[in-house]
Chain A
Amino acid sequence: MFRHEQIEINAGLLIALTLVVISVGGLVEIVPLFKIGSTVEEVAEVRPYTPLELRGRDIYQREGCFYCHSQMIRPFRDEWLRYGHYSLAAESQYDHPFLWGSKRTGPDLARVGGKYSNAWHVQHLIDPRSVVPESIMPAYPWLMERELDYADVARRMAALRKAGVPYSLTEEEYRRNVERWGRAIADMLDIRRAEEALLRQAEAGNYDGDRRHLTEMDALVAYLQVLGTMVDFKKYGEAYFVQFR
């Protein structure tokens, strides 16, 4: 007859069966994420970050913005009213790692792109309380002083390409990107011309308002200004995204 005691006094058996039990729990949670395709929204316009935005994202991570700012608008009425449309899974498909965050000391930033002017972001990052007196955010004045280091941006993109982000390294991949997002964007996503694309976007955008220097502020503001702006929700009906649940 089976007695639980036999497992308890046999270390090898205990380890083996513990592994089995934990694996079942893990597999039940993880495997469906790979199998269930019906919950992934079909939105073609979500693209990988441009080289400049990517460097901005790196700075966002370096400065630990995600400790206090989430990037995940949940489907609740209050969040819908304050932040806008709830976040889609497809919107963070090229994020490695995700920056969803888990704590909101400051507001959610998933749709902060385009909400404020570049000049506001620059002023706010240099001295948050000069524009929001009640803010408790630290100041990040060095972003404006430090030149942006973009020497390794192509290698960073190549690493992300290995994780499945469609940055192009061959002519074939580049053509596919042109088909998906058009030539202007495909040019931005080409690893072979990454530095050139980064400089072009920084020059055209002039994010920090100072044309003479390419600073970390340029990159961070470029990143903040693209957050949550890739999907044009006016194109889709109100009910469209409900079916992916």
Chain B
Amino acid sequence: MSETRADRGRGAAVQTTGHAWDGDLQEFNNPLPRWWVWAFYATVLFAVVYWLFYPAWPVGEGYTKGPLNSITFEADGKTWTTHWNTRARLMRELKESPAAVRQRQYLEKVAAAGYDEILADPDMKGFAWSMAKGLFGDNCAPCHGSDGKGRIGLFPNLADDAWLWGGTVEDIETSIREGRRGFMPAFGEALGEAQLDDVAAFVLSLSGHEVDPAQAARGARIFRGDAGGCHYCHGMDGTGLKSQGAANLTDRIWTVAKVPASPSLEGKLEAVKRVVREGIRREMPAWKGRLDPVQIKLLTVYVHELGGGQ
């Protein structure tokens, strides 16, 4: 076995504890390394300094607050000075951190600008895009998906060109701020199975699917007449009505009926029938209580750019 440094230094200078077990078994009493001892004293000193700067010792019903340290922050239009604590530090950071200061410059600019200006200015638009991406991920993505493509049957796709409630910035802003209630009555009881078949055939024919012409013609009469009354919301030509959030049925974009998922015509007809039979009841919550106006503005720009905004 090689000789260690401890072995070399031992010799006569090393003390023992003085015990001897079994006659000759002794216990060394090596002193602690000097660096370790000094490091220990340094931590003691550090603690004393810490007490002077940070809340530390409980005293009675209060505590020492670190007399040599304080935090000044602005909130509610006033300047406050308090002993060091994480809440005060957060308030200061929200206003004064370099990122917050840079962000605020942009936020003020965006707040003052109209949508035309924001969309025309690459700098502001870029800011809106990157800031709103985080907002979207946190608030909107759980339903609409991180890519905004939604989920057929549950949550509308925001990344395409079709807009149930309108695709202008004003429409999008209203949707976010006030929320939307999508409603279509259930026609299962008003129309029988045969009539549902006819309506479904007509609806699919609107988007160019090859269906039985006679059936589609019967469906058209229900759709455009009072038996179904579908035209009140979807229009005589089936192009939808923005004020009701009624879908355009003439494109091949589906938001509720799971038509694209069915390869066969029978499957597609059944998917449409199901929606007509059961109706639609879905809700987009109003965000004005959770998000401030600038955040809603940024999200409006984001959603507008995400899909084919109008």
A-to-B contact residues, CB < 8 Å? 28, 31-32, 35-38, 74-77, 80-82, 86, 114-117, 119-120, 123-124, 130-134, 237-239, 241-245
Contact = CB atoms under 8 A, between A and B. Distances in A.
Contacts of A243: 82
Contact of A120 (B63, B80, B142): B142
Given A77-B90, A115-B139, A134-B146, A242 B282 contact: no
Given A76-B86, A117-B285, 7 more contacts: A32-B58, A75-B87, A116-B143, A119-B283, A131-B143, A132-B146, A239-B78
A120 B155 CA distance: 9
A103 B136 CA distance: 24
Contacts of B134: 81
Given A77-B100, A134-B146, A245 B88 contact: yes
19 contacts: A36-B63, A38-B62, A75-B90, A76-B86, A77-B90, A80-B90, A80-B94, A86-B90, A116-B285, A131-B142, A131-B151, A131-B154, A133-B145, A133-B146, A239-B76, A242-B85, A242-B88, A245-B55, A245-B82
Contact of B90 (A76, A115, A131, A134): A76
A123 B145 CA distance: 14
Contacts, number: 90
B143 A245 contact: no
B141 A132 contact: yes
Interface in B73-93: 73, 75-76, 78, 80, 82, 85-91, 93
Interface string B11-53: 0000000000000000000000000000000000000000000
A82 B97 CA distance: 17
B76 A238 contact: yes
B61 interface: yes
B116 interface: no
B60 interface: yes
A35 B61 contact: yes
B141 A77 contact: no
B138 interface: yes
B290 interface: yes
B60 A35 contact: yes
A238 B146 contact: no
A242 B80 CA distance: 10
Interface in B138-185: 138-139, 141-143, 145-146, 151, 154-155
